[in-house]
Amino acid sequence: MAEHKRLRIGLLFGGRSSEHEVSLMSARSVLEALDPARYEVVQIGITKEGRWLVAGDAVTRLVERAGAGGALEGEVEDTAPVALLGDPSRGGRLLPVSGRPGPPVLDPPVLDRPLDVVFSLVHGRTGEDGALQGLFELAGVPYVGAGILGSALGMDKTVAKRLWLAAGLPVGEHLVTTARRWREDPTAVQGEVAGQLGFPCFVKPANSGSSIGVHKVHALEELAPALEDAARYDVKLLVESAIEGRELECGVLGNDEPEASVVGEVVPGHEFYDYEDKYFDDVVRLVIPAELPAETAAEVRAVAVRAFRAVEAAGMARVDFFLERSSGRVLLNEINTIPGFTRMSMYPRLWEASGVPFPRLCDRLVELALERARERGALRPIR
């Protein structure tokens, strides 16, 4: 009997964004969930400088460097610097940057065969915004998750809100400004926020995740430092009215026929669900499934799928909502096309509660990536 050929998966993690450490935690969880009998996993770490490194234990090596607080400067012992070229004739092979093959510690050698699929867990800018997805498209390599357009639309919170409003979906009050305008005319920006939204409100970078650079502003005197900090992470800034309500989340899985998971509720341990609450403090509560009337849960699930489709997402996404206490309205907050995949992350836990265990979820995402690649590969080339 012929030996079953394992799929070669390029597990990509790290990256240059402020969510580097979150990506490493997600990668470790996915690595543990992927069945070694079905997959040959090639660990590809992207340093904070943007260098691609391969090693048999690349996750551990980048975690150690990140823990030391460094920017991963200089050589990383027992790793091979590699590149993926935007050239489909290369067949999805990783190429040594130095012109030599990987170090002998890599077993089996990772540069001898092409990748069958890339499972990217690179969060934030240059990872979740269509940049990496464009490289995968140029290289002709199937990849997990949304394509170029869906990634870019989902990453930009302000554009996503415009699309949802155009689709008739419920979105809270908000306004958009730029870091440049804030610095050139802070008085005008503060006046617009106070006059149009009032306080409390939330200030966010338009393109970021994991609540990095997000601030709850209770009064005018807190607004300037919040805008200044958010401007450290993006050139476009989003200010939203604070909604007094429950925080709900729903997972979406699929391509042309996406499905929604059960609905979960986040009960923050801090004033809001911030970075420390999500990944480090053990005080947040995730209630799965959320205690909701059946009709409310059904509405959240239906809106999640519509929001997913409106931004042209594919494969996976986590859609976040508010349930306003005073009115009972369900309001869209944001969508994450590469949600967290740590063991404590909401997305895999939502699907676990929906009957899809973590390993099966990873399998399904790989299947969806290959399905989408086959459909695109059947298109006639542009001449």
Which CATH number belongs to the domain containing residue 348 in this structure? Answer: 3.30.470.20
Q: What is the pLDDT of residue 80?
A: 86
Residues 162 and 283 in one domain: yes
Domain boundary among 103, 123, 143: 143
Q: What is the pLDDT of residue 47?
A: 93
pLDDT in tens, 205-226: 998 765 788 999 999 999 999 9
Residues 26 and 88 in one domain: yes
Residues 28 and 162 in one domain: no
- Does 381 sit behind a cis peptide bond, omega within 30 degrees of 0 on the bond before it? no
- Give 353's strand partners: none
Residue 2 within any structural domain of the chain? no
Structural domain harbouring 204: 174-241
Residue 89 within any structural domain of the chain? yes
Query: What's 195's domain CATH number?
Result: 3.30.1490.20
Residues 85 and 201 in one domain: no
Residues 286 and 304 in one domain: yes
Contact (Cβ atoms closer than 8 angstroms) between residue 102 and residue 54 = yes
Residue 277 within any structural domain of the chain? yes
Residues 167 and 116 in one domain: no
Q: What's the domain count of the chain?
A: 3
- Give 46's strand partners: 14, 52
Domain boundary among 241, 257, 281: 241
Residue 46 within any structural domain of the chain? yes
Residues 117 and 205 in one domain: no
Residue 381 within any structural domain of the chain? no
Query: What pTM did the predictor assign?
Result: 0.91
pLDDT in tens, 150-190: 999 999 999 999 999 999 999 999 999 999 999 999 999 99
Q: Which residues are part of the catalytic machinery?
A: 73, 210, 279, 318, 320, 334, 336, 340
Residues 79 and 218 in one domain: no
Residues 85 and 158 in one domain: no
Q: What is the pLDDT of residue 109?
A: 63
Residue 54 within any structural domain of the chain? yes
Residues 84 and 112 in one domain: yes
Residue 380 within any structural domain of the chain? no
Residue 1 within any structural domain of the chain? no
Q: In angstroms, rounded to a whole number, what is the distance separating the alpha carbons of residues 133 and 147?
A: 6
Q: What is the pLDDT of residue 258?
A: 98
Q: In angstroms, rounded to a whole number, what is the distance separating the alpha carbons of residues 119 and 282?
A: 28
Domain boundary among 214, 241, 268: 241
Residues 67 and 138 in one domain: yes
Burial of 291 (0-12, 13-18, 19+ CB in 10 A): exposed
Q: What is the pLDDT of residue 64?
A: 85
Residues 167 and 294 in one domain: yes
Secondary structure of the chain in HEC code, one letter for each residue: CCCCCCEEEEEEEECCCCCHHHHHHHHHHHHHHCCCCCEEEEEEEECCCCCEEECCCHHHHHHHHHHCCCCCCCCCCCCEEEECCCCHHHCCCCEECCCCCCCCCCCCCCCCCCCCEEEECCCCCCCCCCHHHHHHHHHCCCECCCCHHHHHHHHCHHHHHHHHHHCCCCECCEEEEEHHHHHHCHHHHHHHHHHHHCCCEEEEECCCCCCCCCEEECCHHHHHHHHHHHCCCCCEEEEEECCCEEEEEEEEEECCCCEEEEEEEEECCCCCCCHHHHHCCCCCEEECCCCCCHHHHHHHHHHHHHHHHHCCCCEEEEEEEEEECCCCCEEEEEEECCCCCCCCCHHHHHHHHCCCCHHHHHHHHHHHHHHHHHHHHCCCCCC
For the chain, 383 residues long, give each residue's pLDDT as a single digit of tens.
Answer: 345 689 999 999 999 887 899 899 999 999 999 999 999 999 999 999 999 999 999 999 998 887 655 544 556 777 889 999 999 998 889 998 875 555 544 555 667 789 999 999 999 889 999 999 999 999 999 999 999 999 999 999 999 999 999 999 999 999 999 999 999 999 999 999 999 999 999 999 998 765 788 999 999 999 999 999 999 999 999 999 999 999 999 999 999 999 999 999 999 865 554 445 444 556 789 999 999 999 999 999 999 999 999 999 999 999 999 999 999 999 999 999 999 999 889 999 999 999 999 999 999 999 999 999 999 887 666 55
